[in-house]
Amino acid sequence: MSDLTELEAIGMAASLVEQLDAPGIGDEIYALAAELYPICRSITGPGVRETLAILQRSVPLEVREVPTGAPVLDWTVPKEWSIRDAYIKNAAGERVVDFREHALHVMSYSTPVRATMPLQELKKHIFTLPDQPDLIPYRTSYYNENWAFCMRQRALDALPDGAYEVLIDSELKDGVLNYGEYVHVGESSDEVLFSAHICHPQLANDNCSGLALLTLLAARLKGVKTRHSYRFLWAPGTIGAIAWLAANETNTSRIKHGLVLSCVGDAGGPTYKRTRRGDALIDRAMTHVLSAATAAPNIIDFFPYGYDERQYNSPGYLLDVGLFQRSQFATFPEYHTSADNMDFIRPEHLAKSYSWIVGAIDILERDRAYLNLAPKGEPQLGRRRLYAAIGGDKDSYAKSLAMLWVLNLSDGGHTLLQIAERANTPFATIAAIADLLEEKGLLAKA
Ligand code: ZN
C-alpha cells in the first residue's frame, strides 16, 4: 500500500454508519408508512394498538398502558375513543360524507351522534378549508366533548338544502392510553431518546413517516454495539409524552441527547429546531450534518410550541431534545389536510432523512477528545506513510489538512466535532483520521 492509498482509504462511511445504512432503506420506510397510513389513529383507542402491533413485527417494542383517569403530571389520561363508522346521508340514502372513504372525515374524539337535521343546522358541525376546496381538513377535540365532520368545501357547496341523516358510531369510555417503548442497551446507561407521535389518523408525512423511520432505525440498531443506550418512544402527542415522563421520573436524568421526529418524508427542509439550551451536543451534531449535506438547512431556535420537544424541554426536565423535520410543520399547504397522503412523501426523501439521523448518531457515538502523543512540532507523517502527495489531488490535500487539524487540536480540550467544525470538514472524515492516527500510535483517547 502506498502512502497515498492509506490516506485515501479514509472514506466517509465509518463502521457504525455502514452498519446502520443500507440500500433500499427509503423503500422499506415508505412501505411501512403506507401500511400505517389508512389506520384511524387518535390519542387513544384501537388505532394506536393496531399501529403498534404492526411496528412490533419489526421491533420488539413494549406496549405500555395507562388507565383512563390516571393523573400524569398536571394532566389526566382521557377516556378511550373508538369509532366504527360515520356518515352523512342525503334524502336518497346515499353517503355524501363517508368515514370509510377517509378517516379525516370525522373530527377526532367526536362524541356519538345519530340524528336527522336540516343542512343549515348540520353546517354548525362541519369543517372545511374554503381556500383549499378539494382538501379535507384534520380536526380534533380531545378535551372538549363535541362532534363534527370534516369535508371538502366543493362537496359541501354541492349539497342541496334539505334534511340529512347523520351518524357517528363512536364511543368514549374508560380504557387505556397506549404507547410503545423500546430500549437498545449500549455500553453506557446514558441514553439517547428518539420520539415520534402516533396520534394522527391517515396523514402520511405527519406522522406515518416518523413512526416508520424510527421503527426501522430501531430495528437496524438492534444488531449494533453502541456506546450509548437508545430509547425509542411511539406515543400520542402531548399526553403520551407527559404520561411517559410521569412514569419515568427517576429515569429522565439518563437522557443526555434526543430527537423528536415528524414530517420526515417530504422534499422540503431539512429543518432542525434546537433544544431550549440551544448549544447542546445534539444541536451541534444536527447542524453539522445538515450543513454538510445541504446548502441552506432551516435551523431554528427553540420555541415552546410544536411537537413533544415542548414536554422534554419543559423547565422541570430540560432534556436536550431537538426536533428534526423536512418541511417545518404548519408551513406547507398539505399540512393537516388530506393532501398529506402517500404521494406527498417519497422513498428518496425518507432515505435522506434516515441517513442524516444516522450521521448525527455517529457523532453522538464517536465524539470525544484525543491527545496528540507527539505534540512538539509536527510528527513526521511520511515516515508513518501518512503523508499524501499534495500535487494536484484536491481530495488528498483536504485529507492531509484534516489530519493536521486533528493533530493540532488534539490537546485533550477539543473534541472531534469541535475539530470538524473548525476545520470545516465532515465529522466522519475527522473521526476516521483519528482512528487511523490512534492505530499509528500518534493519538490516544483523552
Ligand atoms: Zn400534526
* Residues 87-117: tens digit of each pLDDT: 999 999 999 999 999 999 999 999 999 999 9
Q: Which of 29-43, 164-178, 293-307, 393-407 has the lowest mean pLDDT?
A: 393-407
Ligand 1 centroid–CA 117 distance in Å is: 32
Ligand 1 centroid–CA 387 distance in Å is: 52
Ligand 1 centroid–CA 66 distance in Å is: 23
Cα-based torsion angle of the residue sequence 228, 233, 239, 244 in order, rounded to the nearest 10 degrees: -50
Whether the CA torsion 331, 51, 317, 272 is positive or negative: it is negative
pLDDT at 252: 96
pLDDT tier at 267 (50, 70, 90 boundaries)? very high
What percent of the chain is modeled with pLDDT above 90?
89
Ligand 1 centroid–CA 206 distance in Å is: 5
pLDDT at 15: 60
pLDDT at 180: 98
Cα-based torsion angle of the residue sequence 13, 18, 22, 25 in order, rounded to the nearest 10 degrees: -90
pLDDT surpasses 60 at 3: no
Element housing 435 (H / E): helix 427-439
Strand order of the β-sheet with 95-98 is 95-98, 80-89, 163-173, 113-118
3-state secondary structure 55-102: HHCCCCCEEEEEECCCEECCEECCCEEEEEEEEEECCCCCEEEECCCC
69 Rama sector, left if φ>0, alpha if ψ -120 to 50, beta otherwise: left
Distance CA 369, CA 383 (A): 25
Ligand 1 centroid–CA 152 distance in Å is: 19
Ligand 1 centroid–CA 98 distance in Å is: 22
DSSP state of 383: G
Ligand 1 centroid–CA 19 distance in Å is: 32
Ligand 1 centroid–CA 107 distance in Å is: 14
Name residues with Cβ closer than 5 Å to ligand 1, which is an ion: 206
- The CA–CA distances, whole Å, from 194 to 56, 262, 324 equal 16, 11, 10
What nine digits make up the cell of 275?
433544544
Element housing 197 (H / E): strand 191-197
98 Rama sector, left if φ>0, alpha if ψ -120 to 50, beta otherwise: beta
pLDDT surpasses 90 at 392: no
Number of H helices, E strands in the chain: 14, 19
pLDDT surpasses 90 at 151: yes
205 Rama sector, left if φ>0, alpha if ψ -120 to 50, beta otherwise: alpha
Distance CA 262, CA 243 (A): 19
Ligand 1 centroid–CA 198 distance in Å is: 10
Q: What is the mean pLDDT of the chain?
A: 94
Closest by Cα among 352, 374, 361, 353 to 417: 361
Ligand 1 centroid–CA 344 distance in Å is: 15
pLDDT surpasses 60 at 6: no
pLDDT at 59: 98
Ligand 1 centroid–CA 48 distance in Å is: 15
pLDDT at 388: 65
pLDDT tier at 20 (50, 70, 90 boundaries)? confident
Residue 159: count of CB within 10 angstroms of its CB: 17
This model's pTM is above 0.85: yes
